Amino acid sequence: MHSNKKGKNCNTNRDSGGSPRPKKSLGQNFLNDPKVVQDIVLCGDLTSADAVIEIGPGLGAMTGRLAEAAGLVVAVEIDGDLIPGLETLCRLYGNIVLIHGDILKLDVEKDIIDKYVRPLGLSKVKVCANLPYYITTPIVMKFLEECPDLIDSLVIMVQKEVAERMIAKPGGKDYGAMTVTVDYFTEPSIQFIVPPHCFRPQPGVDSAVVKLEVRKTPPFELKDKDHFFRTVKAAFLHRRKTLANALANSSLIDANAADVCEVLEVMGLNVMARGETLSGAQFAELSNRLLEKKS
Ligand code: SAM
């Protein structure tokens, strides 16, 4: 630790209480309301037979409560400055595994499930986290697209507007590619809203705790999952275009405007329809029928 001439502490990595100073670049808005922490853990429906992944344990506000409720907590934290404090927490509880790393770079099955969860005789995990908001979408997509079969549910704190996008219905401005993807893999619900004053430092937006219950069976049949997601992505890339134009001009899928219009007519939809008006099931039918035309 450095001292200035007057002997004052000038280590800028620590605040006046000695805690690591929050890093905006890592989305560090730490929870400082025990009631919110308790309510998030309750939403997880955890028992001692559960293994839970916590993304970004931070100063450990939720980690101890999770360790009390679940059989095992695997906590993944990217910030090396927070690791010593978390190691102390690990020593207090015997059932926390701490991984110092980037959640987006880990292989969930190989690095977490195979190493720590399967040896306990479990095959699935629950996710509970106050997410770093700058990477909410990549984290949610990673878990849903890479390993939906290994996840029971995700209870996550996200920005309120992201929560609204997750549960949006077709036709509204919030409805988009993320809505369709979340709906394909899960049954989403907003559990409660969390105001900025429950965090330190306070974020500039309201937050919401969302529960995503991973579906046991898909809601509709897909001929090719990858083609379905590329169709959805292409449809929402240019929201102002008609669906026929958006798909025909996209490099994501191989379709021409005439084929798309023909399929929309067969499906009883307006050829001038925009992507945001189609439900997930309608996107599935569109993707399946476009593939049939190619075969
Ligand atoms: N769970 C703590 C709480 O509720 O007080 C901290 C939540 S804070 C919103 C997000 C946490 O995620 C921070 O601790 C941050 O360092 C961590 N984080 C940011 N990016 C990460 C990444 N790519 N992988 C793992 N953790 C990350």
For residues 203 and 237, state if they share a domain: no
What CATH number did the domain enclosing 246 receive? Answer: 1.10.8.100
**Does the pLDDT of residue 11 top 70, yes or no?**
no
> For 264-279, what is the mean pLDDT?
94
pLDDT > 50? residue 102: yes
Residue located nearest, by CA, to atom 11 of ligand 1: 56
Percent of the chain with pLDDT strictly greater than 90: 87
Same domain, 206 and 274: no
H or E element that contains 191: strand 186-194
What is the CATH number for 125?
Answer: 3.40.50.150
Using the atom order of ligand 1, give the atom closest to the CA of residue 29. 9
Range of the domain at 257: 225-294
Are 84 and 140 members of one domain?
yes
pLDDT at 238: 86
Based on the fold, state whether residues 231 and 200 are members of the same structural domain. Answer: no
Give, using CA atoms, the residue closest to atom 5 of ligand 1.
30
First to last CA, the chain: 68
Alpha carbon of 132 to ligand 1 centroid (Å)? 5
Q: If we measure between CA atoms, which residue out of 26, 42, 24 comes closest to residue 34?
A: 42
| 129: nearest Cα among 36, 53, 31 | 53
Query: Omega into 201 within 30° of 0, i.e. cis?
Result: yes
Task: Please check whether residue 139 lies inside any domain of the structure.
Answer: yes
Report the pLDDT averaged over residues 243-263: 91
Q: What is the model's pTM?
A: 0.93
Count of domains for the chain:
2
Among the three residues 162, 181, 214, which one is the final residue of a domain in this structure? Answer: 214
Ligand 1, from 30, 63, 108: best to mutate by most atoms within 8 Å of Cβ?
30
Q: Count how many Cα atoms sit within 13 Å of the Cα of residue 191 in the half-sphere of its side chain.
A: 21
Residue 287 domain-assigned? yes
136 and 271 within one domain? no
Q: In this structure, are 21 and 133 located in the same domain?
A: yes
pLDDT of residue 82: 97
At 141, list the tokens: 């997509």
269 within ligand 1 shell (Cβ under 6 A): no
62: helix, strand or coil: coil
pLDDT in tens, 175-185: 999 999 999 99
Report pLDDT for 6. Answer: 41
How remote is the C-alpha of 3 from its chain's centroid? Answer: 42
Distance from the alpha carbon of residue 202 to the mean position of ligand 1, in angstroms: 15
27 CB under 6 A from ligand 1?
yes
**221-239 per-position pLDDT tens digit:** 999 999 999 999 999 998 8
Using the predicted structure, report yes or no on whether residue 10 has a pLDDT greater than 50. Answer: no
Q: Is 117 in the pocket of ligand 1 (CB under 6 A)?
A: no
One domain for residues 118 and 88:
yes
* 56 Cβ closer than 6 Å to some ligand 1 atom: yes
Residues with Cβ within 8 Å of residue 228, at least 6 apart in sequence? 184, 222, 283, 284, 287
Residues 21, 163, single domain; the answer is: yes
Last residue of a domain, one of 157, 183, 214: 214
Closest Cα to atom 1, ligand 1: which residue?
57
Atom 20 (ligand 1): residue with closest C-alpha?
Answer: 26
Answer whether residue 220 is part of any domain.
Answer: no
pLDDT higher than threshold 70 for residue 77: yes
* Same domain assignment for residues 139 and 41: yes
Is residue 293 very low, low, confident or very high in pLDDT (cuts 50, 70, 90)?
confident
What is the model's pLDDT at position 186? Answer: 98
Instruction: Please indicate, yes or no, if residue 107 is contained in any of the structural domains.
Output: yes
User: Is 219 domain-assigned?
Assistant: no
In a domain, 3, yes or no: no
Same domain for 23 and 66, yes or no, is yes
Q: How far is CA 58 from CA 115, 158, 221, in A?
A: 23, 16, 40
**Is 196:216 a contact under the CB 8 Å cutoff?**
no
CA dihedral (111, 41, 154, 159) positive or negative: negative
Residue with tokens 């929870």: 31
Q: How far is CA 249 from the centre of its chain?
A: 30
My answer on whether 70 and 201 are in the same domain is yes
Asked if pLDDT for residue 7 goes beyond 60, the answer is no
Q: Measured in angstroms, how far is the CA atom of residue 147 from the centroid of ligand 1?
A: 21
**In-domain check, residue 64:** yes
Task: Determine, yes or no, domain membership for 4.
Answer: no
Ligand 1 atom with the shortest distance to the CA of 104: 23
**Same-domain pairing of 209 and 83:** yes
- Of 190, 214, 238, the residue that ends a domain is 214
Distance CA 117, CA 125 (A): 8
